[in-house]
Chain A
Amino acid sequence: MRPDRSEAIILQSIPSRERDKLIVFLTPEKGKRKGWAYGARGLRNRFGAALEPLAKVELVFLEKESEEAVRIESASMIRSAFPAQQELARSLAATYIAESVETFVQADDPSELVYRLLDRIVEALLAGRPVEPIVAYAEVWILKLGGVFASIRHCAICQKPLERPLRCDIRGGFVCSGCAEPGVTLIANRVAELLGALLSTPVDAFAAMPIAADDLFELRALARDLRRYVLGHELKTHDLLQSVIRG
Chain B
Amino acid sequence: MTAAPLANLINELSRLPGIGAKSASRLAYHLLKRPAVEAEALAHAILEVKEKIHRCGVCNNMTDVEPCSICSDARRDPSILCVVEEAFNIPTVEATRDFRGLYHVLLGSLSPLKGIGPDDIDVAGVVRRARSGSIREVILATNPNVEGETTALYVAQQLRGLEVRVTRLAFGLPVGGDLEYADQVTMAKALEGRREI
Contact = CB atoms under 8 A, between A and B. Distances in A.
A119 interface: no
Contact of A49 (B20, B181, B183): B183
A228 to B, nearest CB: 17
A80 B150 contact: no
A93 to B, nearest CB: 11
A95 interface: yes
Interface stretch (B6-14, B47-55, B111-119): B111-119
A171 interface: no
Contacts of A52: 145-146, 185
Interface residues of B, number: 27
A18 interface: yes
A141 to B, nearest CB: 21
Q: DSSP majority for the B interface?
A: helix
A82 B150 CA distance: 11
Interface in B150-185: 150, 153-154, 157, 174, 177, 181-185
A17 interface: yes
- Most chain B beta carbons < 10 A, residue from A53, A77, A82: A82
B18 interface: yes
A91 B150 contact: yes
A169 B110 CA distance: 36
Interface of B: 17-18, 20, 110, 112-115, 117-118, 144-146, 149-150, 153-154, 157, 174, 177, 181-186, 188
